[in-house]
Amino acid sequence: MKCLVIYYKNGFMERENAKVDIEDRGYQFGDGIYEVVRVYNGKFFTLDEHLARFVRSATELHIKLPFTVEALTNLLEQLVEKNELINGYVYIQLTRGAADRIHNYADNLEPVLTMYSTVRERALSDIENGVDVYLHEDIRWLRCDIKSLNLLPNTLANTAAKNKGGHEAILHRGEIVTEASASNIFIVKNNELVTHPANNLILNGITRGKILQIAEDLKIPVKEEAFTIEELFAADEAFITNTGVEIGPINHVDDKAIGTGKPGPVTRKLQKAFEALLPS
């Protein structure tokens, strides 16, 4: 179902009434940032963490946030209420604003905030049955820690994977696996979790952070270290994490089975613990 009421620029309005300036730098340069936050049973999940990352992305790109985190939270609560959203997402985007189309930006632009919601149920089939993924060279820039609107390398990789019948593209820089086009990746080897460190080469996923917390609680050892494609193929289990799929067990990479080719016991344990955290 389409979101009825959105927030755009200075207030709530019907989606049809939003007029995007053709010289908005988000539109022309991808000059902006975003977040996607999950709503379960009418309640936000990990909203504070998402907004903290939003603030960080804005700060790194020198985009001024038009609201405090408290005010943003309040607007998001209003958005959910106005759309009577029970299960789905809110999308939050901030562009640097509109100006004559020149590459450099002035520091007095008025940033443009867009927020809307989408109805979506949990991806139970992917969670239960697992997903197949395909490798793709990571051709992104060197600030993947910023959740910027520049997603062309991600959309190209994701489309290539989807065209092969896969769910996700696993990105690698040479031999090193970084993350996926819209998710982080973990492998399990000898009951230990391994995932790429949260540096400039990956987006530090909020779901990834939750997995690290859960692993600590469950006393599952974690190594935040880069691993290779070879190690991925030799893993006992592997899974992707993001706001949408939560924890998606990986069955096959490039048509080759990982472990048994079915969701493994460590992945199942983490899924169970994650599910227990969801608002009821």
241 versus 251: smaller Cβ distance to ligand PMP: 241
* Distance from C-alpha of 195 to C-alpha of 218, rounded to nearest angstrom: 17
Site for ligand PMP contains 183 (CB under 6 A): yes
204 versus 251: smaller Cβ distance to ligand PMP: 204
* b/e burial code for range 139-157 (CB count within 10 A of at least 16 → b): ebeeebbbbbbebebbeeb
Number of residues that bind ligand PMP (CB under 6 A): 14
Asked if residues 161 and 134 have their Cβ atoms less than 8 Å apart, the reply is yes
Active-site residue, selected from the candidate residues 147, 189, 210, 219 = 147
CB contact set of 163 (below 8 Å; sequence gap of 6+): none
Asked if residues 80 and 86 have their Cβ atoms less than 8 Å apart, the reply is no
Site for ligand PMP contains 195 (CB under 6 A): no
211 versus 235: smaller Cβ distance to ligand PMP: 211
194 versus 206: smaller Cβ distance to ligand PMP: 206
Site for ligand PMP contains 57 (CB under 6 A): no
Site for ligand PMP contains 51 (CB under 6 A): no
In angstroms, what CA-CA distances link 165 with 99, 133, 158? 41, 8, 11
Using the structure block, give the residue that is written with the tokens 């109805």. 119
Asked if residues 214 and 273 have their Cβ atoms less than 8 Å apart, the reply is yes
Asked if residues 76 and 47 have their Cβ atoms less than 8 Å apart, the reply is yes
SS3 174: coil
| Candidate residues 83, 184, 267, 271; the one interacting with ligand PMP per rule CB under 6 A | 184
Site for ligand PMP contains 203 (CB under 6 A): yes
3 versus 247: smaller Cβ distance to ligand PMP: 247
Shortest CB 242 distance to ligand PMP, Å? 4
Site for ligand PMP in 130-159 (CB under 6 A): 154
Any idea what DSSP says for residue 272?
H
| Candidate residues 95, 243, 267, 271; the one interacting with ligand PMP per rule CB under 6 A | 243
- Which range touches ligand PMP (CB under 6 A), out of 131-139, 156-164, 206-214, 267-275? 206-214
| Candidate residues 179, 187, 215, 235; the one interacting with ligand PMP per rule CB under 6 A | 179
- Which range touches ligand PMP (CB under 6 A), out of 78-86, 191-199, 214-222, 239-247? 239-247
Site for ligand PMP contains 113 (CB under 6 A): no
Tell which residue, 222, 227, 190, has the closest CA to residue 209: 222
Shortest CB 229 distance to ligand PMP, Å? 18
Shortest CB 82 distance to ligand PMP, Å? 24
Q: Does residue 147 have an active-site annotation?
A: yes
Asked if residues 209 and 184 have their Cβ atoms less than 8 Å apart, the reply is no
In angstroms, what CA-CA distances link 26 with 46, 110, 148? 26, 12, 10
Residues that bind ligand PMP (CB under 6 A): 36, 154, 179, 182-184, 203, 205-208, 241-243
What is the set of active-site residues?
Answer: 147
